[in-house]
Amino acid sequence: MQTIPHNIFLEQFAQAEGGGGMMMLLFWVLILGAMWFFLIAPQRKKQKQHKQMIEELSTGDNVITASGIFGIITNVKEDRFVVRIAEGTKVEIQKTFIQGKVSPDGTVESSR
């Protein structure tokens, strides 16, 4: 047996549910926006800085690789650097594996 107050309560509950879906959508949009702001945007900024640092490197620059090897760039190729790591020892390193430029006083100017 359904009464009139029971039906009124159910109608109000059904109307509240319709508005709740919009609030849930707004909640997820805010969560995704916060994730982009705190995670994706800073990473993209670091990638741009690293790309700019790589483009500015030239022959004679002191660098450090991602594995911690220090060396001097002796030749710049399209997709890699030739780096002298010791007298008579040169290695070819992909450009993305250069972690930073080493200043003359020995400090690393890292883009990461």
Tell me the residue range of the domain where 29 lies: 1-55
Res 19: pLDDT: 56
**pLDDT(16) > 70:** no
Question: Do 74 and 41 share a domain, yes or no?
Answer: no
Task: Please tell me whether the overall predicted TM-score, pTM, comes out greater than 0.75 for this model.
Answer: no
> 28-45: per-residue pLDDT in tens?
999 999 988 888 889 999
Question: Do 16 and 31 share a domain, yes or no?
Answer: yes
Give, in order, the Cα–Cα distances in Å from 20 to each of 9, 10, 31, 52.
Answer: 16, 15, 16, 47
Q: Among 55, 82, 99, where does a domain finish?
A: 55
Is 93 within 8 Å of 83 (Cβ atoms)? yes
Question: Do 85 and 66 share a domain, yes or no?
Answer: yes
Res 108: pLDDT: 77
What three-state secondary structure class fits 85? Answer: strand
| 20 — pLDDT class (breaks 50, 70, 90) | low
What three-state secondary structure class fits 84? Answer: strand
Question: Do 50 and 63 share a domain, yes or no?
Answer: no
Is 101 within 8 Å of 61 (Cβ atoms)? yes
Nearest to 94 by CA among 80, 78, 83: 80
What three-state secondary structure class fits 74? Answer: strand
Rounded Cα gap, residues 83 and 104, in angstroms: 17
